[in-house]
Chains A and B, each alone.
Chain A
Amino acid sequence: EAGVTQFPSHSVIEKGQTVTLRCDPISGHDNLYWYRRVMGKEIKFLLHFVKESKQDESGMPNNRFLAERTGGTYSTLKVQPAELEDSGVYFCASSQGFEQYFGPGTRLTVT
């Protein structure tokens, strides 16, 4: 069974540009989460989907971030326009029960 996959693994963009991160959860998992780790600090929750609906988006930092989950399958996280402080590692996780399974993360660098 394939795990959670994320694309791209790395992205380097300039301030003001747009970047879209993608997450493919484990097949059949209704719950999908986005987290972010900035500058070696703690991993912080961004939002939680149940199927295609946003269950909790309390961690989204501002309206430059837009998350979607079309058809309740894969999810995208778009940052537009990107700022320097958006640099970090973005993790996706999925679950059907209690345990969350994480992807390898996307390292975003905004210069």
Chain B
Amino acid sequence: GNSVTQMEGPVTLSEEAFLTINCTYTATGYPSLFWYVQYPGEGLQLLLKATKADDKGSNKGFEATYRKETTSFHLEKGSVQVSDSAVYFCALHHGSGNTGKLIFGQGTTLQVKP
């Protein structure tokens, strides 16, 4: 079945460090891929998405490229800030058309220290 695997956390970085959070998936076909973020005390927010192979999603300095050959969608940011401290979830869309469930990874907690 479809599944998503994320790197174990927590990840602790100093401000301005480079961030990579690994995400790999198993799926039939070519699902759309997402990164969601949950800031402390808030709900999940869509951070970025990619709907087909080789697409690059980007937002707020974060980027992720849909790699079909390695079934990966790693999240990167060149210089993290304290305000990026949150839990990050990789997900794939399972379904046809515009509806259908999301399948999530286990989440990776990022803590950025000043």
Q: Report the stretch among B38-46, B62-70, B73-81 that lies at the interface.
A: B38-46
Point out the residues of chain B lying under 8 angstroms from A37, CB to CB: 107
- A-B contact sample (11 more), CB < 8 A, given A42-B104, A43-B104, A102-B44: A31-B99, A33-B102, A35-B104, A37-B107, A40-B107, A43-B89, A50-B99, A55-B99, A93-B44, A93-B102, A104-B43
Cβ 8 A contact of B106, one of A4, A42, A56: A42
Cβ 8 A contact of B101, one of A40, A42, A59: A59
Point out the residues of chain A lying under 8 angstroms from B28, CB to CB: none
- Interfacial residues, chain B to chain A (CB-CB below 8 A): 4, 32, 36, 41-46, 49, 89, 91, 93, 98-107
| B110: min CB distance to chain A, Å | 14
In the assembled complex, A103 has its CB within 8 A of some CB on chain B: yes
| A34: min CB distance to chain B, Å | 10
In the assembled complex, A44 has its CB within 8 A of some CB on chain B: yes
A102 touches B99 (CB 8 A): no
Cβ 8 A contact of A99, one of B46, B101, B103: B46
| B86: min CB distance to chain A, Å | 14
In the assembled complex, A74 has its CB within 8 A of some CB on chain B: no
- Per the bound structure, the CA–CA distance linking A56 and B32 in Å amounts to 19
Q: How large is the interface on A (under 10, 10 to 19, 20 to 34, 35 or more residues)?
A: 20 to 34
| B112: min CB distance to chain A, Å | 20
- Per the bound structure, the CA–CA distance linking A103 and B38 in Å amounts to 11
Cβ 8 A contact of A102, one of B41, B45, B49, B107: B45
Point out the residues of chain A lying under 8 angstroms from B44, CB to CB: 43, 91, 93, 102
Point out the residues of chain A lying under 8 angstroms from B32, CB to CB: 98
In the assembled complex, A97 has its CB within 8 A of some CB on chain B: yes
- Per the bound structure, the CA–CA distance linking A59 and B101 in Å amounts to 10
Point out the residues of chain B lying under 8 angstroms from A98, CB to CB: 32, 93, 98
